[in-house]
Amino acid sequence: MNFEERKYVLIAAVVFISVVFILRLFWIQVVDDHWKAEAANISERKIIKFPARGLIIDRHGDLLVANTPVYDLMVVPREVKPFDTLAFAQLIQVPVEEVRERIRAARSYSSYKPTVLEKQIPSEQFASIAVHLHKYAGFYGQSRTLRTYPERIAAHLLGYLSEVNARTVEQDPYYRPGDVIGVSGLERQYEELLRGKRGVEYVVVDVHNKVQGPYKGGQFDTLAYAGSDLYTSIDARMQAYGEQLMKGKKGSIVAIEPATGEVLCLVTSPSYDPELLVGRVRNTNYVALQRDSLNPLFDRALQAQYPPGSIFKIVQSLIALEQGVITPNTGFPCNKALVGCHNHPYASDVERAIQYSCNPYFHQVFKRILEQGEERNRFKAAAINLDRWKEYMHRFGLGERPRIDLPEVKGGSIPGASYYNKIYGEGSWAFSTIYSLSIGQGEVLVVPTQMANLAAIFANKGWYVDPHLVKHIGPIDGGSTPAYERHDVGIDAHWFDLVQEAMRRVVNEPGGTARQARIPGIDVCGKTGTAENPHGKDHAVFIAFAPMQEPKIAMAVYVENSGFGGTWAAPIASLLMEQYLTDSISRPDVEQRMLEADLIAVEHLYKKPPKKARRR
């Protein structure tokens, strides 16, 4: 048989097979009613199996974030048959017009794809719905989990979930409309680990909406894998106590274990109950929280930027000692003509200057820092030495974003020569222009997390580990342990011995500014500060660590609009340290005063008048 003959044979074979297929399809779809009836009675359904999101656990094994089962009510528009809409609306507790609108929207999106009709129905409510779903073709339940908070604390550091937006769905192929994603806190930082991996199950359902079994024996099904658990450094009891102490106050508390960098508590006040941003009430509650004048959604511990006030003096001391512009025995008179100060004994050396928190003393110290060197032109000297000073500040983690495992952290501000050149012009400013930096005012800003880390540096005599919340990821007998970087500030450790002793005197010796932070039997080292507030009463600041030998805790407390740091911030810090170190409180009168104080209620009494009014 030649080529031409073979070609015609192949064409004839193809035509014959095509005719057979066409006739068979015609028979199935038009002539034989059996297959039509079978298709009407069964259909395949694809069910997404949502994984359980990873748990978040405190340092003692107590649950901070868990999961609770809920159900989404799904609809497949092409399967829906005429039904009693009013009865259905009453069953799922949704207005009837809303039900009709949602079905229309689902149909316009796709007649074949399942769409969420009502989401996040609690399991006990869905149980009463499920027994009636056989009456409503095209509707079925799909299980998933919602977050729940056994301790109802730490809302800001834990974060919350929200539905993904269209942009996220477009950019990340994992997400689909209706999925949830971590928006803030640990939920956002560790989203890819916490979310797990979804699975798919294909089932066959009959005309009565009842599942008949797996489709093709489940050969196309895939398993859902739960997200990884996070074991954190947070002490739930300490966190709860800190939130109680800060009730009725604006501010924050950050506590760190100095040797490891582990964050023990991260308190922001005012805060909110994390359960408010869960489930179907989330959107309503979120809007209410946004409109709250106290701004409870704002994370002060990570994002509020304040002047450090007199806390800065201990850092200034170290830089000056390291550079050799002062000695441990250098003294300066408390000359209030230079800068305002309170009455105290003569600051005859560095330790007493820190103990008494003498402003004129550190005015003179900072002047020596900026006017040292061979450059005789004071303008050029100030520019050179300010940049050198700024480098030291960065070594302490100031002026840059803290490398903590949380999103949206601010880094404060440490100005250098270029900053003032833009304001005043190059060669047009000197120490006399920027002397307010000497006592932690002016253009320098810090966030509370940086200040707690600063306390850890003084506790460790010159080094720190990046502050962090997650100690372990995944199964406790497996998983992984993140590594965090250690940093050395590059200042001789023996200078820290001197400043530590000065900080001990601040709390424990007469004339110290933080006498209310004393704890019986424990040497607390601390430093108070008063951060200027142009809009009202000044902010109280206190950093501390304890015990002096082998420190176990370092912390910073900011209490807004409360005045001197020793009045409110220091007692709050000491109560938390005592509770953590001794598991008890020996000063119930101090505790009662801190718990009962409502500084927000009286804040309006200290509002400063507008500048124009003050000039008159």
The CATH number covering residue 392 comes to 3.40.710.10
- What does the alpha-carbon distance between residue 108 and residue 584 come to, in Å, rounded to a whole number? 63
CA-to-CA separations, 160 to 180, 234, 289, in angstroms, rounded: 10, 17, 13
Q: Which helix (H) or strand (E) holds 147?
A: strand 139-148
What does residue 269 show for φ and ψ, rounded to 5 degrees?
-140, 135
The answer to whether residue 281 is domain-embedded is yes
The CATH number covering residue 62 comes to 3.90.1310.10
What number of CA atoms fall less than 13 Å from residue 349's CA on the CB side?
Answer: 8
Q: Which helix (H) or strand (E) holds 583?
A: none
CA-to-CA separations, 17 to 30, 126, 407, in angstroms, rounded: 20, 52, 63
State the pLDDT at residue 614: 31
The answer to whether residue 40 is domain-embedded is no
| CB contact set of 185 (below 8 Å; sequence gap of 6+) | 156, 157, 158, 159, 160, 406, 407
- Nearest partner of 580 among 258, 164, 105, judged by Cα: 258
CA-to-CA separations, 12 to 15, 16, 21, 24, in angstroms, rounded: 5, 6, 15, 19
State the pLDDT at residue 613: 34
262 and 228 within one domain: no
404 and 495 within one domain: yes
183 and 294 within one domain: no
Quote the distance between the C-alpha of residue 393 and its chain's center.
25
350 and 247 within one domain: yes
| CB contact set of 114 (below 8 Å; sequence gap of 6+) | 45, 46, 74, 75, 76, 142
228 and 267 within one domain: no
Return the biggest CA–CA distance within the chain: 121
Beta strands in 383-531 (DSSP E): 463-465, 470-473, 486-488, 525-531
The answer to whether residue 20 is domain-embedded is no
Q: Which amino acid is at 373?
A: G
State the pLDDT at residue 119: 86
- What does the alpha-carbon distance between residue 409 and residue 280 come to, in Å, rounded to a whole number? 29
The answer to whether residue 100 is domain-embedded is no
State the pLDDT at residue 38: 42
The answer to whether residue 99 is domain-embedded is no
Are 459 and 263 contacting, i.e. CB atoms less than 8 angstroms apart? no
What number of CA atoms fall less than 13 Å from residue 384's CA on the CB side?
Answer: 12
- Which value, in Å, is the radius of gyration of the alpha carbons in the chain? 33
Q: Which amino acid is at 153?
A: I
159 and 297 within one domain: no
- What does the alpha-carbon distance between residue 47 and residue 211 come to, in Å, rounded to a whole number? 11
Tokens of 371: 């006017």
- Nearest partner of 299 among 321, 271, 262, judged by Cα: 271
What does residue 150 show for φ and ψ, rounded to 5 degrees?
-55, -35
254 and 228 within one domain: no
The answer to whether residue 31 is domain-embedded is no
Q: Which of 205, 232, 259 is the last residue of a domain?
A: 232
| CB contact set of 596 (below 8 Å; sequence gap of 6+) | none
* 3-class SS shares of the chain: helix, strand, coil, % to 5: 40, 20, 40
The SS3 call for residue 436 is helix
Cite the DSSP H helix spans in 447-587: 448-460, 493-508, 569-582
> Using one digit for the tens of pLDDT, what is the confidence trace for 5-64?
666 666 666 666 766 666 666 555 555 544 443 444 456 667 778 899 999 999 999 999
- What does the alpha-carbon distance between residue 151 and residue 91 come to, in Å, rounded to a whole number? 33
State the pLDDT at residue 616: 25
Q: pTM for the whole thing?
A: 0.85
Beta strands in 17-138 (DSSP E): 42-49, 56-57, 63-75, 115-122
Kindly provide the b/e burial profile for residues 155-179, where b requires at least 16 CB atoms within 10 angstroms of the residue's own CB. bbbbbbbbbbeeeebeeeeebeebb
Q: Which of 232, 258, 286 is the last residue of a domain?
A: 232
- What does the alpha-carbon distance between residue 12 and residue 16 come to, in Å, rounded to a whole number? 6
The SS3 call for residue 309 is helix
For the chain, list residues with pLDDT below 70: 1-16, 18-45, 206-212, 217-218, 602-616
Q: Which of 201, 232, 263 is the last residue of a domain?
A: 232
Tokens of 72: 């989404």
Beta strands in 499-606 (DSSP E): 525-531, 539-546, 553-559
257 and 179 within one domain: no
Tokens of 425: 């012009």
The answer to whether residue 460 is domain-embedded is yes
For residue 118, the cross-strand partners are 73
The answer to whether residue 318 is domain-embedded is yes
Quote the distance between the C-alpha of residue 614 and its chain's center.
39
| CB contact set of 211 (below 8 Å; sequence gap of 6+) | 45, 203, 204, 205
576 and 536 within one domain: yes
Are 473 and 231 contacting, i.e. CB atoms less than 8 angstroms apart? yes
303 and 206 within one domain: no
156 and 297 within one domain: no
250 and 207 within one domain: no
Q: Which helix (H) or strand (E) holds 142?
A: strand 139-148
State the pLDDT at residue 534: 73
Give how many domains the chain has, as a whole number.
2
Domain range enclosing 440: 236-615
